[in-house]
Each structure stands twice: as structure tokens, then as C-alpha cells.
Amino acid sequence: MIDRQSVESPARKEHPDVQLTVTDPSFGTNLIEEVRSHPCLFDIRDPKYRHSECRNQAWNSVIAHLNYPGDVNSIYKQWKKIRDRYVREKRRLRMQRDNGVHDDSTWDLFPQMAWIDPYLDERAQLLRQVKRKHDEELSDYGELDDMVRSGSGLGFMVHDKGRNEGGADVLLDGDSAFAASAVSDLRTLPEHARAIAKAQIEAIFDSCVKTVF
């Protein structure tokens, strides 16, 4: 059983959020199996992984099969909650083993998530590459914000009264202006779409580097 309660989103009050409380004990198991049947939702090597339309279709299929009353963003959060707990549980068990303590997980969904291990390893490798290249700025846009505030480079005018009390124009070169614009666009995306967009941008960077060198 799933209860629906409409609440107001604290981040964007004009867009109502939906908070869903899942009480069906089999929901987690069913969600895991549904996601597993759609590789484009977890396999970064799947050709459809890079296409948001394909992923949205997959999520809508999951919603239909589970008779879930929420939208794509909501079902993604339900999946992310399970996936993140699995990652934390694996980390806890690994740390215990490193300390000489061998224990088994008591979480009932833990063994049902074992199939995703190879895909989590690939995602972790990609995230490590992103962190190295961007000084661990995956979710913090402070560096680009500093570029906007300081006006590093010349050649592009950006008017930023909110950050400049004097109302002076901030100058950015073309690359910096593009980066600032990309950051602004990323912030408008839902959480799952933002993470995918970052991964795709990094894949493009890697491809360009390999082509050049």
C-alpha cells in the first residue's frame, strides 16, 4: 500500500512535491526486479543510458507495473534510497572485515541487490575520474560561482547585481560564460537527470581528450 500526501516543495514552492510513504513490504523487492529489467536505468554502458527519453519510458514502465501513484522523479528517489542504503551497507561490512570482524547484513534486501555490484563499480570509477578532474566539485558549484563573481577572463559581459553591490558588470571570457550558463542549466534539472547530465559531460570530455592525444 502506498499513501499519497501532497506537500509543498521547500526549494520550489510553485511546484508541489509529492511525498509517498510505502507500506507494502514487497515494494522494495518488486522495485529492484523492475529496475533490473531495464539496464538503461543503471548500466552506464547501455546505449539508451544517455537518452533521457528512453530512461523516462523505462521509469514509466516501472511505475505502471508497480501501480505506483508517483511520477518519474518520485520513483527514482525510491530506487535511489534502496541503492544508497545498499552502498552504505557494503561499505560498513567492508570496514568490519578490514578490522577482522566478519558479519552478515541483516537488511532483507541486501542479497537481492548483489546483481548491481559490477555496475556500481563502473559508476564509482567514473565518479573518481570526475572528482580528480574537477577537484571534488561534483555537487558544489562554488568554483564556477567564484569565476562569475571575480570576472576571471575578459570578453563577455555578465550583469550580476545580486553579487555586486555597485551594480558593475562582471566580465567573463567565452569559456567561463559557457560554464556559468551550463551550471545554471544543471541546477534546473531534477536530481537524477542532473547526475546523468554530469556523467554524459564527463564522457564527452574523455572522448575529446582521447581524440586529441
Same domain? 41 vs 96:
yes
Mean pLDDT, residues 71-98: 95
Do 47 and 11 reside in the same domain of the chain? yes
Cell reading at 59: 521509469
Residue 110, pLDDT score: 97
State which of 115, 146, 164 marks the end of a domain.
Answer: 115
For residues 10 and 75, membership in a common domain is answered with: yes
**How much is the pLDDT for 55?**
97
pLDDT tens across 43-72, in order? Answer: 989 999 999 999 999 999 999 999 999 999
Tell me the pLDDT of the chain averaged across its residues.
74
**C-alpha angle with apex 121: 97 to 108, nearest 5 degrees?**
60
CB atoms within 10 A of CB 73: 14
Overall number of domains in the chain: 2
- The residue-averaged pLDDT of 73-102 equals 94
Domain region containing 88? 1-115
108 lies in the same domain as 141: no
Q: Which pLDDT score is estimated for 79?
A: 98
In the chain the beta strands, taken as DSSP E runs, fall at 2-8, 16-22, 156-159, 169-172
- Decide: 159 and 169 in contact? Cβ < 8 Å: yes
> Which domain-ending residue is among 115, 149, 181?
115
Sole residue written with cell 546505449: 47
Confirm whether 130 is domain-assigned: no
**Closest to 199 measured CA to CA, from 129, 142, 115:** 129
